[in-house]
Structure formats: C-alpha cells, structure tokens
Chains A and B, each alone.
Chain A
Amino acid sequence: DIQMTQSPSSLSASVGDRVTITCRASQSINTYLNWYQQRPGKAPQLLIYAVSNLKSGVPSRFSGSGSRADFTLTISSLQPEDLATYYCQQSYRTPRTFGQGTKVEI
C-alpha cells in the first residue's frame, strides 16, 4: 500500500494567517493527489484534485502544489470557516489511501 503522511497532525493559527500542510507519499504518485476538508460533524468534501485544481466554488485562498511524492496545501489567509480537518489522498494505486489528517484550529 502507498502510505500517506501528513504534517503537522494539528495546528493552531489566527485569522488571516498563512497556513501550510504537507503530505508525503511513500512512493511517487505523479499528480494523483487530492485534498479533502472535513468540518466538525460533517462528511469530507473535495477541496482540490490532481494536486492543484480547485473544485468549483472553493475559495481562492486555498491552493495546492507539489509533484512526485511531496505535496502542499496552503491557505493564504485563514478564515473562521476553515476550522476543519484536512486529508490528502492518493488515487494512483489501489487501495486508495488517505493521510492521517491535519486538524486546523483557529
């Protein structure tokens, strides 16, 4: 299985801060990397697909970058509604696997 490792596991930041979450795959996964946001008590929602493509309707303060095995999710200016846990996911090989999540607190 491809292991996905996120860091940090949690972070606390202030409104307006720039937040960066990293995700490392145990092998190269090309551009087969997606990000999901899970607000408290809710189902995960797609945020970014194929490394850097924002789902329609996702605020432009979110961005993704990276290649091969190292990827980054950036929130350029943290907002109160960004309180959530963020998961990366590889769609390169079966079984599909997720990172352990990064909990973002405001």
Chain B
Amino acid sequence: QVQLQESGPGLVKPSETLSLTCTVTGDSISSYYWTWIRQPPGKGLEWIGHIFNSVTPDYNPSLKSRVTISVDSSKNQFSLKLTSVTAADTAVYYCARRVVAATNWFDPWGQGTLVIVSS
C-alpha cells in the first residue's frame, strides 16, 4: 500500500525559499504522477503542480514563477521549492499521488506539513 510522508522546515523567513520533500513508500515513484497541494489555515485547497518522472512539470500559473517540483528516483522522493515566500504562503502542504486512468484523481495524500512564513 503506497504511503506518502512530507518533510521539511516548519518555519521559513519571508523572502527565503520553502523546501519540502515527499517520501514515497510502497510503490515506485517512476510509475505515477506526483502532486503538491496546499491549504492555508482555515481555507480551501490549492493545486501547486505535478510531475511525472523527469518530464517537464506542470505548475499552477499563479505560482509558476516561484515553483520548482523535481523527482529523485534513487530515493523514491519528490520535492517542492517555492522561492520568495511571504506570509500568504503559510499553509499546510500536502503531497499526493495523481492516478491517471480514464480520468484522473489524487490518491493517496500525505498527512501534510504546516509551513509558517514568519521572521
């Protein structure tokens, strides 16, 4: 059974870079798309982007200039980098697998990690 676990600093200073890693167990990272989604406290869900192997990732246009998603197949991990963060980037960040069949959906999700942007 595939499981995902986010890791990374819980506190990032304004203007710095947020870096998170998602470790995938129970499945090969090479077989699926992998996704980052975030949720500001008390608010809804925002799709950040996804990646398949080392194919050019797809990003949310609202974040595209600041986001990089990459895969490390040797560690079965994928990562998120978000540059020039502000308080608006404070959120719980989730990683998830994107399942592609006749349509596509996100399943499963990691437990999420809260990142606070503050000096």
Chain A: residues with CB nearer than 8 A to chain B? 1, 31-32, 34, 36, 42-46, 49-50, 55, 87, 89, 91, 94-101
Residue among B47, B103, B104, B112 with the highest chain A CB neighbour number at 10 A: B103
Judged by a CB distance under 8 angstroms, whether B110 is at the interface is yes
Can you offer 7 A-B residue contacts whose CB atoms are under 8 A? A36-B45, A42-B111, A44-B94, A87-B44, A91-B103, A95-B61, A98-B47
Does more than half of chain A's interface fall in helix, strand or loop, or is it mixed? Answer: loop
* B102 neighbours in A (Cβ, 8 Å): 31, 50
* B103 neighbours in A (Cβ, 8 Å): 31-32, 34, 49-50, 91
Chain B: residues with CB nearer than 8 A to chain A? 44-47, 58, 60-62, 94, 99, 101-112
Q: How far is the CA of A43 from the CA of B107 in the complex (A)?
A: 11
* A45 neighbours in B (Cβ, 8 Å): 107-109
Instruction: Say how far B100's CB is from chain A's closest CB, in angstroms.
Output: 9
Q: How far is the CA of A28 from the CA of B10 in the complex (A)?
A: 39
